[in-house]
Amino acid sequence: MKILFNLILIFSINLLGEQRIITLSPSINEIVFALGSGKNIVANTKFCNFPEESKKIPKVGGYASISLEKMLVSQPTLVLAQDYDKELISNIKKLKLNVKTFKTNNLKSIKNTISSIGILLEKKEKANELNESIDNSLENIKNITLNKKILVVISPREDLNKIIYVAGNNLYFNDIIEASGNKNAYVSSSLSQPIVNVEKIIKMNPDIVIMLAPYINERGISHDDMKKSWLKLPIKAAKEKMVYIIDKEYAGIPSNRVINFINDYRNILEDVRSK
C-alpha cells in the first residue's frame, strides 16, 4: 500500500513538471551540480560529499546498501546511476522509476555521460562547456615530457608487502597519460582492477610514480612517510626522486572534476621536466 501511494505521488509530481533527482554515485552527483541542477537533487548516497551542500541532502545508502524504500520516500522523477550494479538497476526498474545509467570509466565515457545528463536536464550548453574544459586541459599537458613510463597507484599503503592497486589500461588515468605523450607502466588487456606486488613494480621499472592518497591527511600520514618505502625501491622513479602524491579526493572520482586531476598531473610533468 505504501509503495502504491508513493507511485501515485511520483505520477502527480511528473504531471506538475517538477524535476526530482536521485544521484547514486559521487561522480553523477558532481556532474549534476556542475550542470547547475544540484537544487533538484532530493537524495543521494553517503559518499556524495562534493560540493559541500551534497552532505546535507538525504541519503539512500552507500555503494552496496541502497535502500529502495528510501528512494521511494524521496519521490524521484529521475534516478541517475552508474551501470556497475545490474541487480540494483533491475530492482529500481521494477518499481517503475525512471532510471538512467551511465559509464564513467574512461575519458570518452565521462564526456558522454556529461553530454547525456546535460540533454536530460536541458543543460546541453553547460555540458558542452564542461567537456570543452576537459579537452583544453588535455591540450595543456602535451609535450611537457615524453615517453616516460608512469605508474598510478590507487590508495597506496606505507607497507609495500601488502597488495598494491594500480590504474589499468581501461581507466581515464591511462587516457590522460597517453594524451600527454607518455605511457602507462602497467600494461594488460584485462578489465579487472589490477593488483600487483613489489616484484611486479620492480619489473615494470616506472620512470614516474603517482600515488592517489586522499586519506593521508585525516590519518595524519605525511607525504614523506608515505614515500619512504617507495623511494627505497630499485626503480628509476625512486633513483630520480620522481615519486609524487596527489592527496585530493577528486583524483579518484570520474566526473567533470577530472580536470583538477589533469592540472595536478601537469604540475608533476613540469616538475619532472625541471629535474
pLDDT computed for residue 17 by the predictor: 55
- Cα–Cα dist 68/159, whole Å: 40
What is the Cβ-side half-sphere exposure of residue 73, based on CA atoms within 13 angstroms? Answer: 10
Q: Are 37 and 123 in contact (CB under 8 A)?
A: yes
**Domain ranges within the chain, ordered by starting residue:** 2-137, 143-274
Where does the pLDDT of residue 14 fall: very low under 50, low under 70, confident under 90, or very high at 90 and above? Answer: very low
Higher pLDDT, 266 or 63: 266
pLDDT tens-digit readout, 150-195? 999 999 988 898 899 999 999 999 999 999 999 999 999 888 899 9
The answer to whether residue 10 scores a pLDDT higher than 80 is no
What is the Cβ-side half-sphere exposure of residue 85, based on CA atoms within 13 angstroms? Answer: 16
Mean pLDDT of the chain: 93
The answer to whether residue 136 scores a pLDDT higher than 80 is yes
The answer to whether residue 247 scores a pLDDT higher than 50 is yes
pLDDT computed for residue 13 by the predictor: 45
Q: Please, where are the H alpha helices in 140-221? A: 172-179, 198-204
pLDDT computed for residue 11 by the predictor: 47
Write phi, then psi, for 101 (nearest 5 degrees): -115, 155
CATH topology assigned to domain 2-137: Rossmann fold (3.40.50)
The answer to whether residue 267 scores a pLDDT higher than 70 is yes
Least confident of 14-18, 29-33, 70-74, 265-269: 14-18
The answer to whether residue 100 scores a pLDDT higher than 90 is yes
Predicted model pTM: 0.91
How many other CB atoms are found less than 10 A from the CB of residue 265? Answer: 26
DSSP structure string for the chain: -HHHHHHHHHHHHHHHT---EEE-SHHHHHHHHHTT-GGGEEEB-TT---SGGGGGSPB---TT---HHHHHHT--SEEEEESS-HHHHHHHHHTT--EEEE--SSHHHHHHHHHHHHHHTT-HHHHHHHHHHHHHHHHTTTTSS-S-EEEEEES--S-TTS-EEE--TTSHHHHHHHHTT-EES------SPPEE-HHHHHHH--SEEEEE-TTTTTTT--HHHHHHTGGGSSSHHHHTT-EEEE--GGGG--STTHHHHHHHHHHHHHHHHH-
pLDDT computed for residue 27 by the predictor: 98
Specify the residue for cell string 625512486: 238
pLDDT tens-digit readout, 31-73? 999 999 999 999 999 999 999 999 999 999 998 899 999 999 9
How many other CB atoms are found less than 10 A from the CB of residue 216? Answer: 18
The answer to whether residue 197 scores a pLDDT higher than 60 is yes
Higher pLDDT, 64 or 8: 64
Q: Do domains 2-137 and 143-274 have the same CATH topology?
A: yes
- Beta carbons within 8 Å of 57's beta carbon, 6+ residues apart: 41, 42, 43, 44, 48
What's the CATH code, domain 143-274?
3.40.50.1980
pLDDT computed for residue 218 by the predictor: 83
Q: Are 119 and 127 in contact (CB under 8 A)?
A: yes
Question: SS3 for 65-116, per residue?
Answer: CCCHHHHHHCCCCEEEEECCCHHHHHHHHHCCCCEEEECCCCHHHHHHHHHH
pLDDT computed for residue 167 by the predictor: 97
The pLDDT of 102-118, averaged and rounded, is 98
